[in-house]
Structure 1
Amino acid sequence: MVVRRDGITGYVMGGLGNQIFILAAAWEQARRLDVPVYLDRSHYAVGGTFAYGLDAFTHPAISLAPEQSPWRSVRVNRERVLPLPRRPWGRVFLERDGDAYAPSIEQVRPGTTLIGYFQSPRYFPSIRDELSDAILAIDEEPRESAEVARILAEPAISLHLRRGDYLAVSPDRQFIASVAYAVRAIRTLRALGVDLPVRVFSDSVALVKDELRGVAGDFEFVEEGLLGTWASLRAMSAGRAMIMSNSSFSWWGAELMRRRFGADTPVVAPRPWTRGGTAKADLLDPDWITLDAR
């Protein structure tokens, strides 16, 4: 057990999209302070969590093994794993409102662990493009590279409809971007002159095919298992316009698309973002179009 007093540590949790946000926030603060950046991955020692994915690309963070962590991650229920401190744990910056940027993060000092999801590009302005470029440079398997190259060569609208784990939570917490939202988004992009076929990405392709049955349009479905998680993200970003789901993974697809094709790339995002009604104003780009997700 080691407290890293010389740098900034990000306590990593959640799926891949959240992992990237946490890395980005820790990297930004470490760069500001000119100190090392560490990633505490003890969360992933608990069974039933998402896979840790940040070893796939080049970044400056040093990964800490679970036995090096001053935190003990404990599953409190089916949906949540929380870090509990093992003394000494050093300084902690806890994100108290996941829906708003906290400017007080700019006051953290070396030896601080960041705990939260930090879902806003305001947390990482100086490393934003560098991070996107590193993700776009990830090496894939030859089969995946060929498929991403094909997708890049065949312009389409990327439509992401996340279902999967979103349907596994209790019904009172479920909130997904609906097919009605997707249809409105397609019509909006058509009105803007984006006359392209729609390429559908989902973690529940069979379900989404059924949901879209009878909807007029030229749809191509990216079949499950064809691409790994990182390759799926890169393939999503190869579209010429984006219809997001209410998902951090979806946000990174739009962000990488922005890096590929420029800031004026059309992006449609859902609102509200959660069942509680948050609009995620600090997450969504002010130039993006937002439509009712229901």
Structure 2
Amino acid sequence: MIVTRLIGGLGNQLFQYAFGHSLARSTYQTLLIDDSAFEEYRLHPLAIDHFNISANRLSGADHSRVPGKFRRTPVGRALDHVSRRIVPGYEGALPVRREKPFGFRESLLNPERDLYLDGYWQSEKFFPGLRDSLREEFRLKEKPSTTTQKLSSQMTDENSVAIHVRRGDYVTSAKAKQIYRTLNADYYRSCLLDLAARETGLKLYLFSNDVPWCEANLDVGIPFTPVQHTDGQTAHEDLHLIAQCRHVVIANSTFSWWGAYLGRPHSSRRVYYPEPWFHPGTLDGSAMGCEDWVSEASLADHSSTENARRAA
């Protein structure tokens, strides 16, 4: 069996599931979910149940295979030791595959049987070639709200652009600011201007926890519609909406990363992502972008080349 530990917000949960899904498929094993961390974790809700996932949760018997460090209670952490002594045929705790340090490494893809996965696994390289499969796994399980259905229909019919601007904790939390770049208006404006130079009839849909800042700083002549019902309880519907848009400008956020990754294919589709993802010298975000996406760094290089050409 492959057991994947879920922790964090919606985007993190999807990455953790996706890597487990990939390893289970490649080794012909069953994928099981360990969501026991959410019994004490309060920063984000467990949200993966909103999707059409095929994996089951750990059963009572399977919980005995969870490594002691990840048991929910001190009593549970002692279960492995007791089980080894009194349960005939007990196989012991699963070996742990831990993503430490953060970031993609080829060795983490090694196919093995019976693993417990502990990490964030934030790169498409952890689940290559599975976009269609994951689109099915992460399809909404229930019909979305009337508002979401109406917006989804509009986005599908238009030359729509989803833009995700995450400020909030990225601006106010000292801990978050040490790791995550606070993306300024220049990043978003350069992405939108590049897209506007290639496409016509663009309709911009804004997903943000700071709409006034966006209205004051991101006007590039493209009308935009704030998607106002973004909150922790509707994150799954908001992610679904981002995926309906033809183009996406993401933040350095796993939430909009998944909205872009699960988006509907289109010949002219462009997805823009920030690079670097984290502050240099903190975490390794070099594998965050997908091959068919447009990096912030490439836009800067193009702009420098154009300026040099004009000066000549």
TM-score, normalised by the number of residues in structure 2: 0.77
**Offset of 1:16 from its aligned partner?**
0.7
Q: Match of 1:254?
A: 260
Distance of 1:282 and 1:173 partners within structure 2: 16
Structure 1 equivalent of residue 244 of structure 2:
238
Percent sequence identity is 25
Structure with greater strand percent: 1
Deviation readout 1:47-100 (Å, 9 max, x if unpaired): 4221111112222211238994551469xxxxxxxxx96663421000123222
Q: Which amino acid aligns with 2:21?
A: W
CA distance in 2, matches of 1:131, 1:139: 17
Distance of 2:36 and 2:227 partners within structure 1: 33
Q: Which amino acid aligns with 2:228?
A: E
Tell me if the contact between 1:95 and 1:102 (Cα under 8 Å) persists in the aligned partners. no
Determine the structure 1 residue equivalent to 2:296.
Answer: 291
**Aligned residue number for residue 77 of structure 1:** none
Matched, 1:185 2:191: yes
SS of residue matched to 1:198? strand
Question: Aligned with 2:8: secondary structure?
Answer: coil
Deviations 1:170-192 (A, max 9, x none): 14345222222100111111222
Quick one: distance in 2 between partners of 1:103 and 1:47? Answer: 30
CA distance in 1: counterparts of 2:221 and 2:238, whole angstroms: 25
Match of 2:223 among 215, 218, 223: 218
Give 1:150 deviation, angstroms. Answer: 2.6
User: Does the aligned pair in 1 maintain the 2:203–2:222 contact within 8 Å?
Assistant: yes
Larger-gyration structure (1/2): 2
Q: Aligned partners of 1:145 and 1:287: how far apart in 2?
A: 28
Report the alpha carbon displacement of residue 25 of structure 1 after superposing the two structures with TM. Answer: 0.7
1:206 shift after superposition: 4.1
Q: Which moved more, 1:217-226 or 1:89-98?
A: 217-226
Q: What SS class does the counterpart of residue 245 from structure 2 fall into?
A: coil
User: Which residue matches 2:211?
Assistant: 205
Measured against aligned partners, the alpha-carbon deviations of 1:187-236 in whole angstroms (never above 9, x if no partner) come to 11122235513211113334433444x65432221113599211111111
The separation in 2 between residues aligned to 1:12 and 1:251, in whole angstroms, is 18
Distance in 2, matches of 1:90 and 1:134, equals 25
**Equivalent position of 1:4 in the other structure:** none
SS at match of 2:162: strand
Partner secondary structure for residue 22 of structure 2: helix
- Counterpart of 1:127 in structure 2 is 130
Cα distance in 1 for partners of 2:225, 2:240 equals 17
Q: Distance in 1 between matches of 2:78 and 2:253?
A: 32
Q: Secondary structure at the match of 2:169?
A: helix
Considering fraction of residues, name the structure with more helix. Answer: 2
Deviation track 1:99-142 (CA, whole Å, cap 9, x = no partner) reads 223334323322x1011111122222253311113324543334
Query: What is the number of equivalent residue pairs in this alignment?
Result: 275
CA 1:173–1:285: 2 relative to 1, 3 Å = closer
Greater shift, 18-27 or 172-181, is seen at 172-181
Structure 1: distance between partners of 2:196 and 2:293: 15
Q: Which moved more, 1:225-234 or 1:150-159?
A: 225-234
Deviates further, 183-192 or 262-271: 262-271
- 2:246 touches 2:266 (CA, 8 Å); kept in 1? no
List alignment gaps of at least 5 residues for structure 2. Answer: 81-92, 301-312
Are positions 1:10 and 2:13 aligned together? no
- Assess if the C-alpha contact under 8 Å between 2:180 and 2:277 holds in 1: no
> Do 1:12 and 1:41's aligned partners in 2 also have CA atoms closer than 8 Å?
yes
5 Å-filtered alignment, 1:76-225, equals 88=80, 89-110=93-114, 112-143=115-146, 144-170=148-174, 171-212=177-218, 216-225=221-230
Q: Which structure 1 residue ranges, 4+ long, deviate > 6 Å from structure 2?
A: none
In 1, the alpha carbon distance for the partners of 2:126 and 2:55 equals 16
Query: C-alpha displacement at 1:41, in angstroms?
Result: 0.7
Unaligned runs of 5+ in 1: 1-6, 75-83
CA RMSD of aligned residues (A): 3.0
Q: Counterpart in 2 of 1:282? A: 287
> Match of 2:30, as an amino acid?
P
Tell me, in whole angstroms, the C-alpha distance in 2 between the residues paired with 1:205 and 1:86. Answer: 49
**Partners of 1:86 and 1:253 in 2: how far apart?**
41
TM-score (normalised: structure 1): 0.81
